[in-house]
Amino acid sequence: MTQNSKSGYIRTEEQALIDTEALRMRSSGLGYRAIARAQGVDISTAHRRVSRALGEIPRAVAEEYRLIELDRLDALQVSVWDKALSGDYKAARMVLDIMTRRAKLLGLDKIYEEHHELSAEWLDQEIAKLEKQIREAEANPEPLD
């Protein structure tokens, strides 16, 4: 990478090609550990390379890629669904893994976590308001008529 004085780092063509290769490996199913090993870097660098390459993909292309991945997950789930329903533990585990991956790809868990955090935060704020009102009422009781 070369440094651009004010805007931080800019990628060289060579770095873009390395990042793209990391993304290609990830797309083919390799984990970050395998990518890191193949590229001779640590896992965090492999992750950064994949993330950078993904960041360069236009939104429409990224959406198409997401749809392709969802289709792959659907096909995998269909292939083991009957076994899972008949009690095959390995197949059931695989279905759960596929469902977990689908939820992550669609951002479902993140949506739940953000909503849950907001709800907990809102509740804490409301409790704090009520406690303040109680303290103020105790400190300044209203006279009875």
- Give pTM, 2 decimals: 0.44
With H, G, I as helix, E, B as strand and everything else as coil, classify residue 119: helix
The answer to whether 82 and 96 are in contact (CB under 8 A) is no
CATH architecture of 1-56: Orthogonal Bundle (1.10)
- At 145 the pLDDT is 53
The predicted pLDDT at position 111 comes to: 63
Per-domain residue ranges of the chain? 1-56, 58-106, 109-140
pLDDT tens figures, 39-87 = 999 999 999 999 988 888 777 677 888 888 999 999 999 999 999 999 9
pLDDT band at residue 117 under the 50/70/90 scheme: low
